[in-house]
Amino acid sequence: MFSERLKNNATGILNRIENHPFVTGIAAGKVPNKALVFYVEQDFNYLTAFAKVYAGAIQKCASRDDMRFFYQQLGFTLDDEVLAHQIFCDVAGEKYEEHQRADQAPMTYLYNEHMYNAMRTGDLIDVLAALAPCPWTYNEIGKKMISENANSTLNPFKNWIEFYGEDDSVEQMFTMIDREAGKYSDEELDQVEQRFLKSCELEWEFWEQAFYQKDWHFKNSN
């Protein structure tokens, strides 16, 4: 299966994500407030782009069932993921409403543009490949934490861990990817794989960016 190849070739990156200090901090119930706030500000921006790419994907669908999947996921992204942000804000003692207007930091810009590029220049399979690492890596992170009992009632991130660890919507994405993959040559599938791996790498960059609050170097210099 093509999706197995994607996952296999991304295991190295997934490993690095699972061992990133931001992610191990969630499991341990301890992440610096600055990192949580930077993450929420950037993720609010990222999820807005993500929802628009879902809307673009709908235009590439051949069936109403596929359209319905994206439509449901679009609703999840707009309405339910705020819960994950709310948890981070609660732990940091911050008001969520005050962190919804930030400019895009470099990696947010790069990740958003990477997804827009797939939407603009690719087929349905290209869009799916650019999007799938988002639910895939989060679901893997959450499942691993649950298997290690990191979701104890003592952990302030318990609900965050269960929210992502129990969301297995990515399986539907991989099923669609495998179905679409039958229409393409090996060379074309190599390109699809590159889109997938870039998004996996950008997932790692997103944690890294928030953990160290990496912004544009010359943002405030004029």
Ligand X SMILES: Cc1ncc(C[n+]2csc(CCO)c2C)c(N)n1
Cβ of 112: how many Cβ atoms within 10 Å? 19
The closest alpha carbon to 105, from 221, 17, 222, 207, belongs to: 207
Q: Rounded to whole angstroms, what are the CA distances from 111 to 154, 161, 177?
A: 34, 23, 20
Number of neighbouring beta carbons within 10 Å of residue 130: 25
Q: List the one residue from 50, 157, 196, 211 that touches ligand X (CB under 6 A).
A: 50
Return d(Cα 127, Cα 19) in angstroms, integer.
27
Check residue 66 for interaction with ligand X (CB under 6 A): no
Interface pick for ligand X out of 18, 60, 76, 144 (rule CB under 6 A) = 76
Nearer to ligand X, 180 or 203 (CB): 203
Residue from 105, 128, 134, 145 that binds ligand X (CB under 6 A)?
134
When asked if residue 69 is in the footprint of ligand X (CB under 6 A), the reply is no
- Shortest Cβ 206–ligand X spacing (Å): 4
- Least separation in angstroms between residue 167's CB and ligand X is 6
Binding mask of the shown chain, residues 154 to 193, with x at each position contacting ligand X by CB under 6 A: -------------x-x------------------------
Between CA 60 and CA 171 the distance in angstroms is: 20
Q: Does 46 bind ligand X (CB under 6 A)?
A: yes
Calculate ∠ Cα 153-154-157, nearest 5°.
Answer: 80
As a residue count, the chain comes to 222
CB neighbours of residue 169 within 10 Å: 13
Residue among 122 and 135 whose Cβ is closer to ligand X: 135
Minimum gap (Å) between residue 77 Cβ and ligand X: 5
Position 204 contacts ligand X (CB under 6 A): no
Q: Is residue 140 at the binding interface for ligand X, with CB under 6 A as the rule?
A: no
Separation between Cα atoms, residue 96 and residue 79, nearest integer Å: 14
Binding site for ligand X (CB under 6 A): 43, 46-47, 50, 73, 76-77, 81, 134-135, 138, 167, 169, 203, 206
